Structure 1
Amino acid sequence: MLSAKSLFQEILDHDESFRLFCSIAASGEAQGGWENGRIAALLPERCRELAPKAARHGADEDKHGRIFHALMKKRGLRPADVPDDTDYTMLLERRGIGLGHAKLRREDPLTERDVVVYLAHSRVTEQRASEQMELLRKHFGDHPDLGRAVRMISADEENHLAYCHEELLRLARAGHGPTIHRALRECALAEIRVYRDVSLAVMAHMGRILGWPRPKAAALTAAIHAVYAYERLAGWRRMVSLAPPRRRDPLGGPASTAPEFA
């Protein structure tokens, strides 16, 4: 019987599939670290109080990338090339979601609208990241090799999501509510399509590595399309709601380190 746990266990047990999984994850985290670092440097004067939080967000993402590299190194594996069709961040940018890398490479200060776009994009993508890591923590939080890494990254993703809620609510109170609503909806609808496409691509690559029979591959493909259908109908709404986080100032203070991994 197919389940999230059995599927990931199969990927974990095979060196080449584990190598690809960690390489994809590490690449995405590294991109997120760079983006948040640049955003922290380019924030406009009226939003400079966000700079330490954006920098902390970026430092966390960099740390996650190092953790995934360390997990590969522990098994004597080198990073794999990341296929373009599995590059979640790049595919979102191609759809015009978030702040483009060309803008972030320049030295021009961002606008307040750019800050709204950044936070809306982060709120949606951190929802996905938090849910994925919570699933891994549920099934592998006690795993002897992965458990500590999964728990650490999951806790960070929860803080990132809470930070986005807190800052978007603050900007909504400052009069940016309609812009926030439009940006969240646009980003959520694009993200669920990109997530479907990336999921299909990752499963296709894993299937070739692991030699999945055609019925199994077809069942996984159908499941991915079913998730997309649900999200297109109603599930995307969970990505656009805003609520005060239980913990105030979740990204206050310096980023935690991970000496046991990197």
Structure 2
Amino acid sequence: MLSARSLFQEIVDHDDSFQLFCSIAASGESQGGWENARIAALVPDGMRDLAPKITRHGADEDKHGRIFSALLRKRGLPPVPVPPETDYTMLLERRGIGLAHEKLRREQALTEEDIVVYLAHSRVTEQRAADQMAMLVKYFGDHPEVGKAARMISNDEDNHLAYCHEELLRLAREGHGPAIQRVLRESALVEISVYRDVSLAVMDHMGRLLRWPAPKAAALVAGIRGMYAYERFSGWHRMVDLRPPERRNALGGAAASAPGFA
């Protein structure tokens, strides 16, 4: 029976597919770490109270990248180049979602509007990350090789999502509500499209590495396209709502270490 559990088990059990999976994950997390570090350095004067939380966010992402790299090292595998069609972060930027890397490379302060864009974009992408990690914890939280990493990263992603909700609600009360809702909707609709394309590309690569038969590959493609249809019709709404989080001030302290990994 084809299921998320059996699919991921197959990927983890095979060195080549595990190598690609961890390389893609490590690259994306490291990129997120760089982005947050640059945003923290460029926060406008009127919003400097956010800088420590953005820095913490970036430190967590860097840590996640090191965790995935450590999983590779423990199996004696080097990282492999990330196929461009599987680069979620790069593809989102190309579609105009989030803050452009060209802007982040400058030594020019960001605007309040830029920070709204950053937080709204993060609220959408962190929802995706939190959902994915919750699924991994559900099925592999006790796995001897990846379970500890999944639990640690999942906890961080829940913190990131709580932080985005809390800060966006605060900014909405300060008058940024219409801009927040606009950016959230635009980001969500593009993200579900990019996520579909990246998922199809990743499964194509995995299928070739694992030599999946055509019917199995076709079933996975149909499942990915079916999920996109659901998200495009109504599922995207879960990515744009804002509510007071149960975890308050979730990024208010120092980033937790990752003993045994990084």
CA distance in 2, matches of 1:124, 1:91: 15
Deviations along 1:68-121, one digit per CA (max 9) or x if unpaired, are 000000000000110000000000000000000000000110000000000000
Q: How does 1:167-186 map to 2 (within 5 A)?
A: 167-186=167-186
Whether 1:237 and 2:246 are equivalent positions in the alignment is: no
CA distance in 2, matches of 1:178, 1:122: 17
Query: Residue 61 of structure 1 corresponds to which residue in structure 2?
Result: 61
Deviations along 1:161-186, one digit per CA (max 9) or x if unpaired, are 00000000000000000000000000
CA distance in 1, matches of 2:127, 2:247: 16
Whether 1:226 and 2:222 are equivalent positions in the alignment is: no
Whether 1:248 and 2:248 are equivalent positions in the alignment is: yes
| TM norm structure 1 | 1.00
Q: How does 1:97-176 map to 2 (within 5 A)?
A: 97-176=97-176
Long gaps (5+) in structure 2? none
| TM norm structure 2 | 1.00
Q: Offset of 1:2 from its aligned partner?
A: 0.5
CA distance in 1, matches of 2:211, 2:248: 47
Deviations along 1:125-169, one digit per CA (max 9) or x if unpaired, are 000000000000000001111111100000000000000000000
Whether 1:72 and 2:72 are equivalent positions in the alignment is: yes
CA distance in 1, matches of 2:14, 2:248: 41
CA distance in 1, matches of 2:240, 2:16: 37
| Structure 2 SS opposite 1:253 | coil
Whether 1:91 and 2:101 are equivalent positions in the alignment is: no
Query: Residue 259 of structure 1 corresponds to which residue in structure 2?
Result: 259
Q: Offset of 1:247 from its aligned partner?
A: 1.6
CA distance in 2, matches of 1:18, 1:8: 9
| Structure 1 SS opposite 2:255 | coil
Query: Residue 10 of structure 2 corresponds to which residue in structure 1?
Result: 10
CA distance in 2, matches of 1:114, 1:22: 31
CA RMSD in angstroms, aligned pairs only? 0.4
Deviations along 1:214-235, one digit per CA (max 9) or x if unpaired, are 0000000000000000000000
Whether 1:52 and 2:52 are equivalent positions in the alignment is: yes
Give the percent of matched residue pairs that are identical in Structure 1 and Structure 2.
74
| Structure 2 SS opposite 1:79 | coil
Displacement over 4 Å in runs of 4+:
none
Q: Offset of 1:259 from its aligned partner?
A: 2.7
Deviations along 1:3-28, one digit per CA (max 9) or x if unpaired, are 00000000000000000000000000
CA distance in 1, matches of 2:106, 2:248: 33
CA distance in 2, matches of 1:247, 1:204: 38
Amino acid in the other structure paired with 2:153 = I
Deviations along 1:224-251, one digit per CA (max 9) or x if unpaired, are 0000000000000000000001021000
Equivalent residues, number: 262
CA distance in 1, matches of 2:68, 2:5: 19
CA distance in 2, matches of 1:141, 1:165: 26
| Structure 1 SS opposite 2:76 | coil
Deviations along 1:15-73, one digit per CA (max 9) or x if unpaired, are 00000000000000000000000000000011100000000000000000000000000
CA distance in 2, matches of 1:143, 1:34: 30
